[in-house]
Amino acid sequence: MADSRDEPLVLGIETSCDETGVGVVRGTTLLADAVASSVDEHARFGGVVPEVASRAHLEAMVPTIQRALKDAGVAASDLDGIAVTAGPGLAGALLVGVSAAKAYAYALGKPLYGVNHLASHICVDQLEHGALPEPTMALLVSGGHSSLLLSTDITSDVRPLGSTIDDAAGEAFDKIARVLNLGFPGGPVIDRYAREGDPAAIAFPRGLTGPRDAAYDFSFSGLKTSVARWIEAKRAAGEDVPVRDVAASFQEAVVDVLTRKAVRACKDEGVDHLMIGGGVAANTRLRALAQERCERAGIRLRVPRPKLCTDNGAMVAALGAEMVARNRAPSDLGLSADSSLPVTEPHVPGAGAHSHDHDHVHEVSKDNLYS
């Protein structure tokens, strides 16, 4: 049996939104997962404020990295690489993480890997369930994205089959929670109230599920509007709003569409397993309905534990470790954040580099710091 110390030891930094995540991974083994969240600072605004998030990342970055290294029981000099979310995400927030990663890579003489946030959400499942099957079908659901992705190689080939055309699922959860006066973030609180409600109490619409609609795209804007108007009508009539039934019925409409399309994609593409990730993957009803439908369809379901579904540094480290293991090209120290980095780019290699022509991990050259 191979010595686990031969597997790449990578530190990952995630700052795409409101959580400063730093993870340390050796191969597919999670050693540390440190997170500093600024969600409480955004709660009074009812959503994430980019400037507030960026400042919080600046304050939390060094202490969180130090905590992750301590938890992992390793020194920074032991690392084989530094991975960081280069996009997509909030531009200012991403820049904080990218700048920190570049500084550490330069100071330590370690290779830098700018990786894709969405691809990282897929790769994190390796830390819990082992190597990803190839190809992998992934349903990613969070506040910023609802996507169906097919990957034959998580480090180089991720193909989008469908995505949200308006509000992402997590965004819809936040907005309905606000209409119901349940606070922010909306996902966990709606999940909690829905457990005591009737998911069949109100027949809310299922977006983009008609015969002429796009097979794999998602739309939750119409659902959000329908729920908000239903609540407003109740209040206008002086009637009490059955919060638990509304939460359960709204949640059912979201997870029904998500799981229905994901299972359909698996069948159409001939993939016998489904991975679900992103913050909304922590939703208990989504997990339960996905399990039911996958079992009926003969599809194996892979869902990481809730803490690994939300944004974290472990997922970035996991993808970085895979980049090192597969000898993918490191990024230049001139790496920049890209708020709209397409998922078809799992990582951002160095200028002129090709991901398959590196036979070993290159150390960072100080000459290309400003390239």
Pairing between β-strand 112-116 and β-strand 347-348 as defined by DSSP bridges: antiparallel
Rama region for 352: left / alpha / beta (φ>0; ψ in -120 to 50; rest): left
Query: Is 71 labeled as ligand-binding?
Result: no
For residue 248, which of 176, 140, 175 has the smallest C-alpha distance?
Answer: 176
Give the whole-angstrom CA distance, residue 344 versus residue 337.
Answer: 16
Query: Is 33 labeled as ligand-binding?
Result: no
Query: Is 170 labeled as ligand-binding?
Result: no
Query: Is 243 labeled as ligand-binding?
Result: no
Cα distances from 105 to residues 6, 83, 332, 347, in angstroms, run 20, 9, 10, 16
Across the chain, the runs of DSSP E, i.e. the strands, are: 9-14, 19-26, 29-37, 81-87, 112-116, 136-141, 146-153, 157-163, 273-277, 300-302, 347-348
What tokens were used for 350?
A: 């160095």
Taking a C-beta distance cutoff of 8 angstroms, is the pair 100, 14 a contact? no
Query: Is 358 labeled as ligand-binding?
Result: no
For residue 161, which of 319, 268, 48 has the smallest C-alpha distance?
Answer: 268
Query: Is 143 labeled as ligand-binding?
Result: yes
Query: Is 181 labeled as ligand-binding?
Result: no
Query: Is 361 labeled as ligand-binding?
Result: no
Query: Is 311 labeled as ligand-binding?
Result: yes
What tokens were used for 218?
A: 């998602």
Query: Is 46 labeled as ligand-binding?
Result: no
Query: Is 39 labeled as ligand-binding?
Result: no
Known binding residues are 117, 121, 140-144, 174, 187, 191, 283, 311
Annotated binding site for substrate: 140-144, 174, 187, 191, 283
Which residues belong to the annotated binding site for Fe cation?
117, 121, 311
